[in-house]
Each structure stands twice: as structure tokens, then as C-alpha cells.
Homo-oligomer: A and B are copies of this chain.
Amino acid sequence: MWSNSIGKAFVVTCFGESHGPVVGVTIDGCPAGLPLSTDDIQRYLDLRIPQEKEVVSARREPDIVEIFSGIFQNHTTGAPITLHIRNKDVKSADYEPMKDIVRPGHADYPAKVKFGGFSDYRGGGRLSGRMTAAFVAAGAIAQKLLSTFGVDVLAYTSSIASVAMHRVPELDIVRKMTLENSMRCPDPVIAEKMRQVVLRAKSEGDSVGGVVECITQNLPVGVGEPIFDSIDSELAKILFGIPAVKGVEFGAGFQSTRLRGSENNDQYVINDGKIMTLTNNSGGVLGGMSTGMPLLVRVAFKPPSSIAKEQKTVNVSEMEETELGVKGRHDPCVVPKAVPVVQGMVAISLADLMIRGGMIPRILKS
């Protein structure tokens, strides 16, 4: 009914509810010997939510991570690592009136049909975006592990509504600039336009979506287990696990359907004794395996469903049409918050595939 675990070698199991005592995650299969402290995780949690109050929901969680297992003498032991993040700023009462009125765009209606009367509906329960705090925490460990092998995962906001970056930015720019603004966009000029779009939507009781782009550098060739656990299959699967995602594409993606083969094929050359391609329309993946070129994935986020504007809907217990404007605390745009989530999710999947492919050993050198 629920499916709470992902991965085969680096297995992430999440648990908890939006308004329960904790959101948590167990990472099973992290190699032994990785230096790891709460700080390594905390700094990602601290960055998850932009500080600018105007552009995000009013729910404010300190998001302090606690580690309960799997660490000994400041290193991972290879045993499962369980993490908790306590929920503090909970206003369950906000959700009482909506118990029977299904919110358009949210999962309320199918969840009600599927899970029946026992579900924790407070704040979306287990379907809440709050779960992504656990993904970010697990992703922090995956990123620490990947970085040990020189692999660097970087996400950023590529577009919000119609305001878009028109080319893939330099990675150094991404690294330096993404966290400099509340939009998580490496181009400050575009970021400011995005911000205006978000504020306008908010002021009109509405919301906007956008695209998060994620680039992974220095991935070895051959990551991905074809046929079914190909790198694109695995990334797509985990990315659609993030609330509000409606599309995933690699490299030229949907655009490649309008190119000729001769344009779209990435031609091989030798550069400094290394095989490379002149273009990267494949997004660094061929036949479900990494090519050694930067891995480029683009993730479409729809505009948040909770809006103040009144919309038609239905009271399902009385089977009556009604209208609803969603009160309470919600985001006018989830894209900036989604940036570290995408980054973490990609890292989790790559860590899993690299271990499976033998590129990361189960015991690191001490």
C-alpha cells in the first residue's frame, strides 16, 4: 500500500508523518569507514529552506538531525544508520475542516479512496512535502560518500514559470552562486526575475512551478545496471518520488525528438587522452549507463496545489460540490526548496548504483 524503501545496495527507508513526533530515515548499506558526523547532515538541512520569509511557507522547523546507529568513532560501520528529525511547528487544527473536502491538485482524493479511514491526514500525513527533510538527510550521506570518490552532484533552479536560464551554466558558477539567493538560481539577474514572479503569484493567492536541473560531474563510465535498473530508470523512479514532480528528462530530452540523428548524436573525440563527446545531448547517459560526460537531468515541478484562490471541489463524505480556498501555511513555489531535494535524491540513486557496479567498495580504506 505504501512503499517506503528505495535502492538495492544503498537502501533508504523513510518513515514518519508531517504531524507525528519525527520524520526519519534509515540508510542501510552505507559502506564502512566513511567519516560522518551530524554536522555533515545538518548543513544540508540548514540550507534546505531559503531564509527569505516572503517566498516560503510560514511553517518553520529547526530541523535538527539526531543519529541513533551505525556510527562508531566518527565513522560509519557499515551497519544501518537511523536518523530522526523532530517535528515541532505543528498546527494540526488547520487541517480539521479539510478532512472531507478534497483539495484540488493534492493527493487527498486518491489517498482517501486507497487508504480509507485509518490514515493520518494531518498536514498530508505521510504524503506531505515534509518527508523531503528525510530525503535531504539521507542525500547528505550519499553526497559525502560520492564526494569521497570525486563525484559531485549539483542542482539549481533552471526556470520558474516562464523565467528560464537558457543554457546549462558553468559548474563553478553553480557551486558559487546557487545558494546566494532565495531562488537557488545561479544567475542572480534571472533569480531576481524569478523572485518577482513568485511574489506576484503569492500576492494574487496563486502559485507557480518550474524546473530544477541537476548536473553530476566526474561520474565514472558505466554507472547503471541495464536493462531495468539503468541510470535513467533509477533516477526517474526516485525523482518521481518527490511531491509535485510531473516530468523527468535527460540531456536534450523532449527537445531531442525534434532533432535529426545527425544533430542529436554526440560525436566522439579524444581529448587529452580521454574519450569525450563534442556535445552532450545524451545528458551523459547511453544505453542506461553513464558515458563519463556530465550527467544532466531536468525535473519539472508543477505549481503548488494549495492556493488561497477559491476552487471548485467536492465534500466526499456528503458527495456534494463545494468551493475551497486553502487557508494555512503554504509555499507559493516549491522549486527553491526542491533544489536540495533533487540533489539529494540523485545522490542517493548514484550511490546505490555505484556500489552495485563495484565502483564504491563496501569497506573504505582506513
Task: Write the residues of chain A forming the contact surface with B, with a CB cutoff of 8 angstroms.
Answer: 1-6, 11, 13-17, 20-22, 24, 26, 28-29, 32-33, 68-70, 72-73, 75-82, 84, 102, 104-107, 109-111, 113-120, 122, 125-127, 131, 159-162, 201, 206-211, 221-222, 224-230, 232-234, 236-241, 243, 245-254, 256-262, 264-270, 273, 275, 277-278, 281-283, 286-292, 300-307, 309, 311-314, 316, 319-321, 357-358, 361-363, 366
- Which of A15, A161, A277, A357 has most chain B Cβ within 10 Å? A15
Known: A159-B257, A254-B300, A291-B110. A26 touches B13 (CB 8 A): yes
B240 touches A233 (CB 8 A): yes
Min CB distance A329 to B, Å, is 15
B260 touches A208 (CB 8 A): yes
Contact, CB under 8 Å: B247 / A240: no
Q: Which of B104, B260, B269, B307 contacts A206 (CB 8 A)?
A: B260
Report B-chain residues with C-beta under 8 Å of the C-beta of A306: 261
Q: Which of B114, B159, B275 contacts A289 (CB 8 A)?
A: B114
Assess A240 versus B236: contact at CB under 8 Å? Given A209-B264, A275-B314, A282-B105. yes
Is B287 a contact partner of A127 (Cβ separation < 8 A)? yes
Given A207-B260, A254-B249, A300-B257: A311 and B267 interface contact (C-beta under 8 Å): yes
